[in-house]
Structure formats: structure tokens, C-alpha cells
Amino acid sequence: MVNVEICIGSACYVKGSSQVVNDLNALIKEKGWEDKIAVKGSFCMKACQNHIGLGIRINGRQIEGVTAQNAREILDRELSAALA
Ligand code: FES
């Protein structure tokens, strides 16, 4: 099981983290990953303070440079690699 945490803190919410949750859920459905990926919300993981984009972790590893615009592409790439 691959664990994805998405920050639902206020700085990330303002930058579109709820849209990222929707995009991720759509991606999981499209790819048939429902049994392979667990999505959880997280409190602030300091990505905002470190200016590295939205707070997203995959199996505990912080993913840098994620925005609401590129999230789908990055998550597709990272999750495909994590599941390979
Ligand atoms: S509010 Fe999301 S990392 Fe800080």
C-alpha cells in the first residue's frame, strides 16, 4: 500500500490542496489504484514555511514543487514509480 498525505492546513488550502485531493481521487479511480493507494489528510507539514510547494508526502517522503496546476502530473509520475 502506498500512503499519500496531503496537507489540509490553511496555507495549502488557499493554494488549492482541496483541488489536489479531487484530482488525486480522480487519478486513482482512472488508474484502478483504489486498493493500492491510501490517501490521508495531514496538518501543516512545513512545506509552506520552506516554500517548496503544497504539502504532499508519499510513503513519508516530501514531494517538492507541487502546485494545484501540476499536481496531477507529478502525482501520476510519483505514484506510478512507487507502485512499479
Ligand atoms: S499549511 Fe500545508 S505545509 Fe503548511
Domain residue extents for the chain: 2-83
pLDDT at position 73 is: 97
pLDDT at position 77 is: 98
pLDDT at position 21 is: 96
**CATH number of the domain at 2-83, please?**
3.40.30.10
CA of 54 to the centre of ligand 1 (A): 7
The CB of 56 under 6 Å from ligand 1? The reply is no
The CB of 55 under 6 Å from ligand 1? The reply is yes
- DSSP characters over 13-75: HHTTHHHHHHHHHHHHHHHT-TTTEEEEEES--STTTTTSBS-EEETTEEPPSB-TTTHHHHH
pTM of this prediction? Answer: 0.94
CA of 21 to the centre of ligand 1 (A): 14
Q: What is the chain's pLDDT, residue by residue, as a tens digit (84 residues)?
A: 999 999 999 999 999 999 999 999 999 999 999 999 999 999 999 999 999 999 999 999 999 999 999 999 999 999 999 999
pLDDT at position 38 is: 97
